[in-house]
Amino acid sequence: MGAIGIMWLRQLKRYWRSRARMIGSLGQPILFLVALGFGFGPIYQKASGGNYIEFLAPGIIAMSILFTAMFSGIEVIWDRQFGFLKETLVSPVSRTKIMLGRTLGGATVSVIQGIVVGIICMLIGFRVDSAINIPLAILFMFFIALLFTSLGTAVASRLEDMQAFPLIMNFLVMPIFFLSGALFPLEGLPPSIELVARFDPLSYGVDGLRGALTGASHLGLVLDVAILSAITLGFVILGSYLFSKIEI
């Protein structure tokens, strides 16, 4: 097995061993899903928006992937402080392969997290429009996970203080999430807010995931795939570059 596969398996083992983190990371998506889904559901329905759970569920799935993927970058700082990263980087393997393996592992963990949240959504009433589109939905989940795992790794590669990482992540994550259309439709927004939402990469992930699961896509699935894949590639390249510049 190559270096990428070894790093990928290492990330999965970390996730499996940290069962408390697995369970704890489900708390926020479930809270958003139940509190907002049933709290704003009647209001959304009276406004002729339809079933709010059907609209909200894809956004909550994307949210769980976003948070898990972004915060996976803290493991880079953790490994640096305890010397594990030095042992990895001095091995006769290119740093790009190490970064790709870590990123793919983190992305796989995030997708698993998203699938678990998706199952929970179905247990409380969410229904997939067509089972045929489930592979497409998983593709969008993987793009979201890969993009934001790369971003988290890129940020962590430039930090040495573990306490600074969550602060920066929250500064990035919350605007990305709230402006993505995960909680409210992008149609009819003020032009300035809609323009910002168009520059939010998660907007295309949420829209694509919603289109695959419910058949309701605002931007179009082809555009979602094209833009999301291009941005993902860009962040993978950026993350690889910054990771290769880590000083040990």
Q: What is the pLDDT of residue 206?
A: 94
Using only the alpha carbons of the chain, give its radius of gyration.
Answer: 18
- Positive or negative torsion for Cα 213, 217, 220, 226: negative
Rounded-to-integer distance, Cα 101 and Cα 120, Å:
29
Task: Tell me the C-alpha to C-alpha distance, in Å, between residue 73 and each of 78, 159, 188.
Answer: 9, 10, 36
Note the pLDDT of residue 12. Answer: 61
Element (H, E) at 120: helix 95-123
Q: Mean of the pLDDT values across residues 2-23?
A: 62
- Closest Cα partner for 211 from 202, 199, 223, 221? 221
Where along the chain do its domains lie?
A: 3-244
Which pLDDT belongs to residue 77? 76
* Mean of pLDDT values over 154-166: 80
| CA 194/CA 197 separation, integer angstroms | 5
User: What does the mean pLDDT of the chain come to?
Assistant: 82
Question: Per-residue pLDDT averaged across 80-86, rounded?
Answer: 70
Q: How many CB atoms lie within 10 A of CB 21?
A: 13
CA angle 211, 221, 139 (to 5 degrees): 80
> Cα angle vertex 196, ends 67, 158, to 5°?
45
Residue 65 pLDDT: 93
SS3 161: coil
Tokens coding 88:
């990895």
Residue with tokens 């990035």: 172
Checking if the pLDDT of 49 tops 60, the result is yes
Q: What was the pLDDT predicted at 11? A: 61
What does the pLDDT look like over 106-138, one tens digit per residue? 888 889 889 999 999 888 888 888 888 899 999
pLDDT of 194-245, one tens digit each? Answer: 888 889 999 999 999 999 999 888 888 999 999 999 999 999 999 888 888 7
